[in-house]
Structure 1
Amino acid sequence: MFQSFTETARPEQGPPRLARLRRAMAEAGLVGFLVPRADAHQGEYVAPCDDRLAWLTGFTGSAGLCVVLNDVASVFVDGRYRVQVSGQIDTGHFTPVDWPETRPGPWLARHLPGGGAVGFDPWLWTPGQIDEIEAALPEGVRLVPSDNLVDAVWHDRPAPPRGPIQPWPETLAGATHAEKRAQLAESLRASGARAAVITLTDSLAWLLNIRGADIPRNPVPQGFAILHDTGRVALFTDPAKLDTRARAHLGDEVTSAAPEAFGPALDSLDGPVQLDRKSVPVWVVQRLAAAGVAHTWAEDPCILPKAQKTVAEIDATRAAHLRDGAAVCEFLAWFDAQPAGTLTEIDVVTKLEQCRAATGRLLDISFDTIAGSGPNGALPHYRVTEASNRTLRAGDLLVLDSGGQYLDGTTDITRTLPVGTPGDAERTAFTRVLQGMIAISRLRFPEGLAGRDLDALARYHLWLDDCDYGHGTGHGVGVYSCVHEGPQRLSRLSEVPLAPGMILSNEPGYYREGAFGIRIENLIVVREASPVTGGDGATQIDFETVTFAPIDRRLIRSDLLSAPERAWLDGYHAACRDKIGPLLSAPARVWLQRQTAPL
C-alpha cells in the first residue's frame, strides 16, 4: 500500500511544543513567530521534515499558517479546512482563523498594540508574502528574518529526503531538455536578464526532463537551479540523488553541486538576475542584495511552457486516463456488489489502490485518497485514519476522490456514490453539482478568458438553490508530476488566460456539515474549438474530457436536467463504454453496460 492510515499528528502534542517554541522566541527577543505550511520551494506538498505546521499544531491540511504570539496562537485556514482544523488542533491553545477573510497583517496589527519583532524564516517566505503582511503593520511592529525556531525545538525532526533523480523519457515529454533550455534562454536574452533562479520543484523537473522521489505523491526532486542566458543550467541538489544514468542524461551543459554551493553561486552572478516574487525565497533576494547583484521581477520562466502541454504529453495523458478509468470501473463494479454496512472507508481506499496496482503500471497514488462517508464527506480534504475510520451505512453518500501516478500521466477523479437508497435532498444537491460539471464540460468561450471568467458557470445551479462550495472549481494538473500544478485554475481568483494544452480539473461540489458531501470531478484539456458554421470566425476555446468512468445515475434527478444536459451525459457514458469497456474484466464490462444506459 502507498497510503497509510496512521495519525501523523495529534491535538495533545501541540501545547507542549507550543510552550517550547515560546521559550525559544523569548530567548531570541521575539514577540511572535510565523509558521507557514511551506518549504523552501513553495510547493503545496512538503516532505516530512518540512511539515512544521502539522508538527506544531496538529493541523494536516495542505495550506495554512500559524501565527504564534506570547498570549495567542492562531491557525489561519481557508474554506476547505474550516471543519477539519477544529478537530485536529487543541482549541484551548490554538485558535482557528478564517483566511483570507482575515489576513495575517491586520491580525498582527490588532494583537500587538505594544509593538515588537515577529520572526520568520526567510527560506519559507516569498517577497510578495512578506510585503503583503508588512503593508498592514503599524509603526513599532516589524518582521525580522530569523533562524527557524520550530526546527530548533523539533528534536526528532526527520532527515531531508534523498530520493533518486531519474530521467523522464523524451518520447513522453515531447522535447529534449536542451530544447527547453534553449527556448527559455532566448526569452531571458530578450528580457535583458543574464540568469533566472528556479526554485519550484515541478519547474525543475519539467525543465530538465527529470523526476524524483522527495515529496510524497509528487514525483519531483528538491533542488534549486540557475538558468543562464546561454542555456546552461547549474543544479543544486544532494549529489547522492544523481547516479551515472542521471548525470549522463543531464549532459555537459547542466552542472550539479550540493545545496551548500547555491549561495556562493548566487554571489558570483552578473546581474540582472530574474526572480519570481511569488515563489523565490526571501533568502535568495537577501543574498543577491548582499553580494551587490541586481535582480528583476518576472514570472518563473518555466511556468507557462510547462502548463501548455506538448502533443506527446497530451497523448500520454489520454493513455494514462484510459488505464486509470478501467481500474476505477473495476473498483466501482466491486463496490456495487458489497452489501451496505460491510465496508469501512479504509476498505474502500485499500481496494481502489489494489485495482490501480493491478494495471501493473502504478508508480504511486497522486494524493492520499479521500474516502469520506456521511458526515466525513462534508470535509473536502478528509483523510481517513485508523481513528476516524467509519463504516459505510445505508443512506450514506461516499465522496471518493483519488488518483494515480503513472510514467505517462497523473490522474485525479472524484465520484460520489450512494450506499443503499439516497434521499431526495442528496439527489437534488447531486444533480445541481452535476449540472455545474456539465456546464464547464460543454463550454466554449473566446480566447483570452481566465478561470475567474468561467468559475461562476459551475455554481449557477447551486446558487439557484442557495447553495455553494468553498473551494475553486478546478486546478491545473501535471503529467507524471504534481497533481496540483499552476498557474491555470478554474477559480474566481485566477487571472491566467486559459490556453491550449493546459490540463485542468473540473470538480464542483457541495458540502452539508455534519451530514454529507458531494463532488464530481473529471480532468479536461484546453484546446482550440472547432469552427461554428455561421459564426463570426473568432478563435474560441473548449475542453476535451480525458477522464472516463460512469457518473452514478441513482443520484441524478433527470427531471432537473435540460435536454442538452441529458444528451451530454448520455454521450459521455457512451464514450465510457467505447473507451473503457474493452479494458475491463467480463463482470465489470457487464456492470458498465448497465451503469451507462441512457437516462
Structure 2
Amino acid sequence: MFQSFEATTRPEQGPPRLAALRREMARDGLQGFLVPRADAHQGEYVAPCDERLAWLTGFTGSAGQAVILEHEAAVFVDGRYTLQARAQMAEEFAVEQWPASKPGPWIAGRLGKGARVGFDPWLFTAAQVEELRSAAPEVEFLEWENLVDRIWTDRPPPPDGAVEDYPVRLAGLSSAEKRAMVGAALAEAGQKAAVLTLPDSICWLLNIRGSDIPRIPIVQAFAIVGSEGEVALYADPGKFATVELDPEVQLSPRETFATDLARLAGPVRLDRDTAPWEVWRILEKAGVKAVAGADPCLLPKARKTAAEIAATTQAHLRDGAAMAEFLAWLDATAPGELTEIDVVTRLEEARAATGALRDIAFDTIAGSGPNGAIVHYRVTRETNRQLRAGETLLIDSGGQYLDGTTDVTRTVWIGRTPPPEALKAAFTRVLKGMIAISRARWPKGLAGRDLDALARQALWQAGMDYDHGTGHGVGVYLSVHEGPQRLARTGTVPLEPGMILSNEPGHYRAGEYGIRIENLVVVREAPAVAGGDEGREMLCFDTLTWVPIDRRLIAPELLTGEERAWLDSYHAEVRRRIAPLCPAPVTDWLRQVTAPL
C-alpha cells in the first residue's frame, strides 16, 4: 500500500500550536511571522520534517503560506485549495484566495510603520522577499530563526533515502553530455558558475534518482555547476553508497555548502524564483557577484530527448492497461459496496500488478459526489465516503515507473440510471476544452498562456470556468509537476518540442460534483498543411495517455462533427494500443466503452 489514509493534522491541533507560536513571536519582539509550505529547495513536495504549514494549521495542500500576526492569522491558497483549507483548518485561521489576495498587501493593511515580521530566509526566494517588501514598504521583514522549529518538539528527522543511477538508455544523454551543455551555456553568458537548489534539476543533470520525498524520486541536495561542466554536490554522502559519480562531480556534506558559496568567484547565476533568499545573502556578504538568471537545467530538462519520449510512451501504455483493468472492475462492482478508500486501494493494486511501479506519482484523488468538487481532495478515514448510484466519481492518479511518470484524470458515472442532462452538458463542455487543446496547432514561439483559453471557451459560453491552470509540465521519472512550461494564464515560457504537459480542464460545483478530464500530451513539430504559409513553423500535441472517457456523461449534440471524430478516433486508438495488454474480460469491456459515439 502506497497511500496512507490518516489525516496529517486535525483542526483542533491548530489553536494550541498557534498560541505557542505567538508566545515565541512576543518573546522575540515580532508582530508577525511567515510560515510557507516550502523547504530550502523550493520544491512543491516536501519531507515530513518540512511540513511546517500542515503541522501548524492542519492544511495539507501542496501550496500555501500562513501569515501569523498577534491577533489575526490567515492562510493564502489558490483556487484548487479553498474548499480543502476551510475544511481542514480551525476557525482561527482565515482562508485568503491567492492571487486575488496576497500576503504583502494583506500585511500592509494590518501593520503600521516599524512593525517587525520574521521569516526563515531558507524558505523564501528572492522574488518572494522583494514582492513582500515592495507591497508593505513600512513593515520590516526580517530574516529570522524559524520559530515553528522551536516549538515543534517531535519534528521528524531529515530524510536519508538512498540514491541510484538513472540509465543513459532512458535518459538519452549522459551526465557528461548534460554537464557540458549547461557549462557551455554559462560560459556563453559570461558566468563562472550557477547554484542549483532544485533537486529535480540536480537529479536530471547527474542522471541519478533519489528516495528522500514520497512520490517524487529525488535526492535533497544543493549543487554548484561550473562553466566547464564541473559540479560540486552537497548532500549526505551516505545516500550515495551504491552510486559511482563521475570524477568531475565532487560530493561533500550539506553542511559545507554555505562555506563553499562564500568562496566562489563570480559572476554566479542564481534563479530568483527558486534559489533561497539566504543563498543571495551569503554571496552578497562574501562580496561574490550574483546575477539573476533561470536555473540552467530547467529548459534542457523540459525538452525531452527522443529516448525519454519513447520510454514514457511505454510507461503510459502500461499505465493505461492498469487503468482499464481498474475501470472495468469499478464498472462491474455495485456502488453500495465501495468507498473512496476502496477505490484508491484497488487502483494502486492495478498499477502494482504491472510489476514495474516504483511509487504512485501523488496521493490519489478519488472524490465521489461533493468530494469531487475539492480540486485536490485526499481521502482520509475521517472523510471517506461511500460511492452512491446517481453521482460522479472523480479519479486523478498517476504512477512513477522507471521509464516514465503518468498523470491521468477521469470522471465516471456511478450506477445504471442516466445522468442528469445538466451534468452531461457540463461534462461535455469540459470534454470540448480537452479536445480543443489536443487538436491545437499554433505558431512556434507561443506560450501556454496563449493556448489556455482554448480549453475554457466552451465553458465560458455557458458562464462556467475553473480556478486552476489547464496544464502543468511533467517529468520522466521525476516530478509530476515540472516547470517551466505550463498551460495557464501564468504560462509565459514558449512551448518547445519535447515538452510534456497535462491537458486537464474541469468544472466544479461546491457540494455537488467535480468534473475533470486529463491526458498528458507532448509538444512536437506540426506537419505542413497544404496551402499554408511557406516557412511558418507550427507546433502541435501528440497524446500520451490512452484511457477510455465515460461516454455516458457525454451529450453528443453539443459536440461538433470534428470533435466527435476526434473522440471516436481516440477511443479506437485506446482499443488498439491497450487491448493487447489486457486480459480477455477487460478487453471485452474496452470494446464496449470505446465503441463509436
Shift, 1:292, TM fit:
1.0
Shift, 1:138, TM fit:
3.6
Report the Cα distance in structure 2 between the residues aligned to 1:277 and 1:186, rounded to whole angstroms. 21
Q: Name the SS for the 1:33 alignment partner.
A: strand
Report the Cα distance in structure 2 between the residues aligned to 1:383 and 1:137, rounded to whole angstroms. 35
Matching residue's letter, 1:17: R
Shift, 1:270, TM fit:
0.6
Matching residue's letter, 2:30: L
Among candidates 286, 290, 295, match of residue 285 of structure 2: 290
Shift, 1:362, TM fit:
0.3
Q: Structure 1, residues 43-76: CA drift from partner, whole Å, max 9, x if none?
A: 1111110010000000011110000010101111
Matching residue's letter, 2:171: A
Shift, 1:264, TM fit:
1.1
Q: Which residue of 1 aligns with 2:198?
A: 200
Among candidates 408, 411, 417, match of residue 413 of structure 1: 408
Matching residue's letter, 1:150: V
Which consecutive residues of structure 1, in runs of 5 or more, have no partner in the other structure?
none
Q: Which residue of 2 aligns with 1:578?
A: 576
Asked if residue 83 in structure 1 is aligned to residue 78 in structure 2, the reply is no
Report the Cα distance in structure 1 between the residues aligned to 2:57 and 2:93, rounded to whole angstroms. 7
Asked if residue 396 in structure 1 is aligned to residue 391 in structure 2, the reply is yes
Q: Which residue of 2 aligns with 1:446?
A: 443
Shift, 1:215, TM fit:
1.1
Asked if residue 25 in structure 1 is aligned to residue 16 in structure 2, the reply is no
Report the Cα distance in structure 2 between the residues aligned to 1:426 and 1:484, rounded to whole angstroms. 29
Q: Which residue of 2 aligns with 1:48?
A: 48
Matches within 5 A, 1:267-306: 267-306=262-301
Q: Structure 1, residues 364-390: CA drift from partner, whole Å, max 9, x if none?
A: 000000000000000010000000000
Q: Which residue of 2 aligns with 1:61?
A: 61
Among candidates 180, 189, 192, match of residue 191 of structure 1: 189
Q: Which residue of 2 aligns with 1:104?
A: 103
Report the Cα distance in structure 1 between the residues aligned to 2:133 and 2:30, rounded to whole angstroms. 16
Q: Which residue of 1 aligns with 2:537?
A: 539
Report the Cα distance in structure 1 between the residues aligned to 2:557 and 2:76, rounded to whole angstroms. 42
Q: Which residue of 2 aligns with 1:165?
A: 163
Among candidates 372, 379, 391, match of residue 377 of structure 1: 372
Asked if residue 503 in structure 1 is aligned to residue 500 in structure 2, the reply is yes
Asked if residue 15 in structure 1 is aligned to residue 15 in structure 2, the reply is yes
Runs of 4+ aligned residues of structure 1 deviating over 3 Å after TM superposition are none
Report the Cα distance in structure 1 between the residues aligned to 2:566 and 2:533, rounded to whole angstroms. 25
Among candidates 313, 317, 328, match of residue 322 of structure 1: 317
Report percent identity of matched pairs: 62
Q: Which residue of 2 aligns with 1:150?
A: 148
Shift, 1:113, TM fit:
2.5
Q: Name the SS for the 2:336 alignment partner.
A: coil
Q: Which residue of 1 aligns with 2:116?
A: 117
Q: Name the SS for the 1:341 alignment partner.
A: helix
Report the Cα distance in structure 2 between the residues aligned to 1:134 and 1:119, rounded to whole angstroms. 12
Shift, 1:6, TM fit:
0.6
Matching residue's letter, 1:99: W
Matching residue's letter, 1:30: L
Report the Cα distance in structure 2 between the residues aligned to 1:414 and 1:379, rounded to whole angstroms. 14
Matching residue's letter, 2:13: Q
Q: Which residue of 1 aligns with 2:228?
A: 230
Report the Cα distance in structure 2 between the residues aligned to 1:230 and 1:325, rounded to whole angstroms. 42
Matching residue's letter, 1:536: D
Report the Cα distance in structure 2 between the residues aligned to 1:188 and 1:443, rounded to whole angstroms. 35
Q: Which residue of 2 aligns with 1:211?
A: 209
Matching residue's letter, 1:543: F
Report the Cα distance in structure 2 between the residues aligned to 1:50 and 1:212, rounded to whole angstroms. 17
Report the Cα distance in structure 2 between the residues aligned to 1:206 and 1:457, rounded to whole angstroms. 32
Asked if residue 464 in structure 1 is aligned to residue 477 in structure 2, the reply is no
Report the Cα distance in structure 1 between the residues aligned to 2:137 and 2:484, rounded to whole angstroms. 33
Q: Which residue of 2 aligns with 1:131?
A: 130
Report the Cα distance in structure 1 between the residues aligned to 2:420 and 2:557, rounded to whole angstroms. 16
Report the Cα distance in structure 2 between the residues aligned to 1:85 and 1:196, rounded to whole angstroms. 37
Shift, 1:114, TM fit:
5.3
Report the Cα distance in structure 1 between the residues aligned to 2:420 and 2:154, rounded to whole angstroms. 49
Report the Cα distance in structure 2 between the residues aligned to 1:449 and 1:51, rounded to whole angstroms. 37
Which consecutive residues of structure 2, in runs of 5 or more, have no partner in the other structure?
none
State which drifts further: 220-229 or 422-431: 422-431
Q: Name the SS for the 1:106 alignment partner.
A: helix
Q: Structure 1, residues 511-544: CA drift from partner, whole Å, max 9, x if none?
A: 0000000000000000000110111131100000
Q: Which residue of 1 aligns with 2:596?
A: 598
Report the Cα distance in structure 2 between the residues aligned to 1:513 and 1:394, rounded to whole angstroms. 19
Report the Cα distance in structure 1 between the residues aligned to 2:486 and 2:361, rounded to whole angstroms. 18
Shift, 1:251, TM fit:
1.7
Report the Cα distance in structure 2 between the residues aligned to 1:410 and 1:187, rounded to whole angstroms. 28
Report the Cα distance in structure 1 between the residues aligned to 2:390 and 2:466, rounded to whole angstroms. 22
Shift, 1:115, TM fit:
3.5
Report the Cα distance in structure 2 between the residues aligned to 1:132 and 1:414, rounded to whole angstroms. 35
Matching residue's letter, 1:517: G
Q: Which residue of 2 aligns with 1:489?
A: 486
Report the Cα distance in structure 1 between the residues aligned to 2:301 and 2:251, rounded to whole angstroms. 22
Q: Structure 1, residues 336-385: CA drift from partner, whole Å, max 9, x if none?
A: 10112111000000000000000000000000000000000000100000
Report the Cα distance in structure 2 between the residues aligned to 1:475 and 1:22, rounded to whole angstroms. 37
Asked if residue 309 in structure 1 is aligned to residue 296 in structure 2, the reply is no
Q: Name the SS for the 1:111 alignment partner.
A: coil
Shift, 1:105, TM fit:
1.0
Report the Cα distance in structure 2 between the residues aligned to 1:440 and 1:31, rounded to whole angstroms. 48
Q: TM-score under structure 2 normalisation?
A: 0.99
Q: Which residue of 1 aligns with 2:248?
A: 253
Shift, 1:290, TM fit:
1.2
Corresponding pairs, count: 594
Matching residue's letter, 1:492: R
Shift, 1:507, TM fit:
0.2
